[in-house]
């Protein structure tokens, strides 16, 4: 498939059946054409949090309809002494509820832009810039659900498994499962989790690629052995000449996401030649974003002040004033995190088109009227 006008929402209505529940109006969400995957439009992000109605959706199979009254979450595997199962009611009432604000981003976000860098199309969902959103998640710490099962001294991995058609699985080390901000979420932005986002319960694995945050959770396997499943051997791994295979994995397994930034304007953008505020976001996975700089055309790099809290695992907002002259301009933004990582000038080629996070040349056309 050739990408001609990659950042414009693609008009595919009538071709592919929608397999999600919530409305995905074209003025709020980018339709990637799969019937399953809808991005948040970067120019339609009102506040710090992404409203639930426009939070991006990335699903490999249709949204399942699960009944909370009969649903259970099992904890089992050779890394527990006593396998057990929780009901929906248990999760709400037997454990401390915690709320965290965290960003989810798909490892394939900006895949179309990676394709532009290399003059090709990478297979996979044709994401522009919309596969990233932030919500306040409320639920139970994963470790609080694991401990009652009696974790063995040799346990090393925890693998959530879903109840949708694809039985999605993605293991993580025990230490990440035990982190304060690894949650089994029951609510999102103060409302019950909507069907498309994992009702009755989903994982939220802070700072990691979205695929770790398994939706429609049904089972947690605790293991004394390294676990290999499609999502850590052939998908969501970096494959290519720069990335040697590692045992059963075709390349390094993607975990925490790299620093990247986003301008809250359409691509290409059209502005009027008048003083205005340009806004955006930056996200650095498990790290904190500490600075954002921008450059117009060949001008100097300048500071774009951060205007929101700096939380690890959640994006920041930044802004700058601009009084653009009529004509065509290129806007570049470069974010840096607290570990000294900064957005590179180009991203690394990998077969599946993941982790585009380099500085983008955002086209801006300025004219009267």
Ligand X SMILES: Nc1nc2c(c(=O)[nH]1)N[C@H]1C(S)=C(S)[C@@H](COP(=O)(O)O)O[C@H]1N2
Q: Minimal distance in Å, beta carbon 232 to ligand X? A: 13
Q: Give the interface segment with Mo ion, choosing from 151-159, 207-215, 255-263, 308-316 (CB under 5 A).
A: 207-215
Give the DSSP letter of residue 44.
Answer: G
Nearest to 215 by CA among 282, 260, 166, 173: 166
Q: Give 277's strand partners.
A: 321
Angstrom CA distances, 181 to 80, 97, 148, 253, 312, stand at 22, 12, 19, 21, 10
58 forms part of the interface with Mo ion (CB under 5 A): yes
Whether 204 contacts 195, CB under 8 Å: no
Is 58 or 141 the residue whose CB approaches ligand X more closely? Answer: 58
Determine if the peptide bond prior to 231 is cis (ω within 30°): no
71 forms part of the interface with ligand X (CB under 6 A): no
> What's the rounded Cα separation, in Å, for the pair 138 and 42?
25
Among 208, 216, 318, 354, binds ligand X (CB under 6 A): 216
Q: Give the interface segment with ligand X, choosing from 160-168, 251-259, 304-312, 349-357 (CB under 6 A).
A: 160-168
Determine if the peptide bond prior to 239 is cis (ω within 30°): no
Q: Are strands 362-366 and 269-271 parallel, antiparallel or unpaired?
A: parallel
> What's the rounded Cα separation, in Å, for the pair 147 and 74?
13
237 forms part of the interface with ligand X (CB under 6 A): no
* 35 backbone dihedrals φ, ψ, rounded to 5°: 80, -5
197 forms part of the interface with Mo ion (CB under 5 A): no
Is 88 or 216 the residue whose CB approaches ligand X more closely? Answer: 216
Interacting partner of 162 out of ligand X, Mo ion, none (Cβ under 5 to 8 A depending on kind): ligand X
> What's the rounded Cα separation, in Å, for the pair 248 and 204?
26
Find tokens 């925890």 and name the residue: 158
Interacting partner of 215 out of Mo ion, ligand X, none (Cβ under 5 to 8 A depending on kind): ligand X
Interacting partner of 332 out of Mo ion, ligand X, none (Cβ under 5 to 8 A depending on kind): none
Q: Minimal distance in Å, beta carbon 161 to ligand X? A: 8
* Stretch 93-122 residues interacting with ligand X (CB under 6 A): 104, 106
Whether 36 contacts 19, CB under 8 Å: yes
Is 22 or 334 the residue whose CB approaches Mo ion more closely? Answer: 22
Among 7, 36, 73, 106, binds Mo ion (CB under 5 A): 106
285 forms part of the interface with ligand X (CB under 6 A): no
Binding site for ligand X (CB under 6 A): 55-60, 104, 106, 162, 164, 168, 197, 210-211, 213-216
Binding site for Mo ion (CB under 5 A): 58, 106, 210-211
């Amino acid at each position: 498939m050739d990408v001609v006008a990659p950042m414009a929402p693609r008009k595919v209505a009538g071709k592919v059946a929608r397999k999600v529940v919530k409305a995905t109006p074209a003025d709020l969400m980018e339709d990637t054409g799969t019937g399953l995957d809808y991005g948040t439009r970067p120019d339609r992000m009102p506040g710090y949090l992404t409203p639930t109605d426009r939070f991006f959706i990335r699903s490999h199979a249709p949204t399942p309809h699960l009944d909370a009254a009969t649903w259970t979450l099992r904890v089992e595997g050779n890394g527990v002494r006593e396998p057990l199962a929780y009901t929906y009611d248990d999760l709400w009432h037997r454990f401390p509820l915690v709320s965290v604000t965290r960003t989810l981003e798909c490892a394939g976000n900006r895949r179309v832009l990676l394709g532009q860098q290399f003059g090709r199309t990478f297979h996979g969902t044709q994401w522009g810039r919309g596969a990233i959103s932030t919500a306040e998640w409320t639920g139970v710490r994963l470790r609080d659900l694991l401990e009652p099962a009696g974790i063995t001294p040799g346990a090393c991995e925890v693998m959530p498994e879903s109840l949708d058609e694809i039985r999605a699985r993605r293991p993580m080390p025990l230490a990440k499962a035990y982190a304060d901000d690894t949650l089994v979420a029951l609510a999102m932005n103060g409302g019950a989790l909507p069907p498309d986002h994992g009702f009755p319960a989903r994982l939220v694995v802070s700072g990691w690629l979205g695929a770790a945050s398994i939706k429609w959770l049904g089972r947690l396997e605790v293991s004394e052995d390294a676990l290999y499943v499609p999502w850590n051997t052939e998908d969501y791994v970096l494959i290519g000449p720069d990335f040697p295979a590692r045992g059963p994995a075709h390349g390094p397994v993607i975990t925490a996401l790299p620093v990247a930034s986003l301008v809250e304007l359409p691509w290409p953008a059209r502005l009027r030649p008048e003083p205005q505020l340009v806004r955006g976001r930056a996200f650095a996975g498990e790290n904190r974003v500490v600075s954002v700089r921008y450059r117009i055309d060949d001008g100097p790099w300048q500071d774009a002040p951060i205007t929101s809290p700096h939380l690890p695992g959640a994006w920041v907002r930044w802004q700058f004033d601009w009084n653009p002259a009529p004509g065509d301009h290129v806007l570049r933004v470069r974010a840096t995190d607290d570990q000294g990582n900064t957005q590179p000038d180009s991203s690394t080629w990998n077969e599946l088109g993941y982790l585009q996070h380099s500085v983008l040349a955002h086209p801006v056309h300025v004219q009267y009227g």
